[in-house]
């Protein structure tokens, strides 16, 4: 499964901006106000892909097309919400995080 870091490294300028924006939704409490918690952002991006796939359990072999499609949809999500400065990470919301 693709990582948020790989998305950033391989992405266009718009994708890179969307990844930075997603990271900005995962700030570290009590640390510099602009310091993202990239570990949590990475976990939430992975979980977002899994939610899109509907994966509650490990996928059977030969499902790479499903994974790739879910990855592309997750990247599309990042691009779509990047247009809104006030959006919250849906995984944070689901898990009850304030930000």
User: For residue range 44-96, what is the model confidence (pLDDT) as tens digits?
Assistant: 999 999 888 885 445 566 667 888 888 999 999 999 999 888 888 989 888 87
Question: Quick one: which of 91, 99, 93, 97 has its CA closest to 46?
Answer: 91
67, two tokens: 């994974």
Query: For residues 34 and 74, what is the distance between their CA atoms, to the nearest angstrom?
Result: 24
| Confidence at residue 21, expressed as pLDDT on a 0 to 100 scale | 93
- The pTM score is 0.83
- Please state the rounded mean pLDDT for residues 26-49: 87
Average pLDDT over residues 12-19: 96
What per-residue confidence (pLDDT) applies to 56? 41
């Amino acid at each position: 499964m693709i990582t948020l870091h790989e998305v950033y490294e391989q992405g266009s300028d718009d994708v890179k901006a969307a990844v930075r924006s997603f990271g900005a939704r995962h700030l570290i409490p009590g640390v510099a106000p602009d310091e993202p918690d990239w570990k949590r952002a990475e976990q939430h991006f992975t979980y977002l892909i899994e939610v899109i796939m509907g994966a509650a359990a490990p996928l059977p072999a030969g499902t790479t097309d499903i994974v790739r499609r879910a990855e592309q949809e997750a990247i599309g999500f990042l691009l779509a919400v990047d247009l809104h400065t006030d959006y919250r990470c849906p995984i944070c919301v689901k898990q009850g995080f304030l930000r």
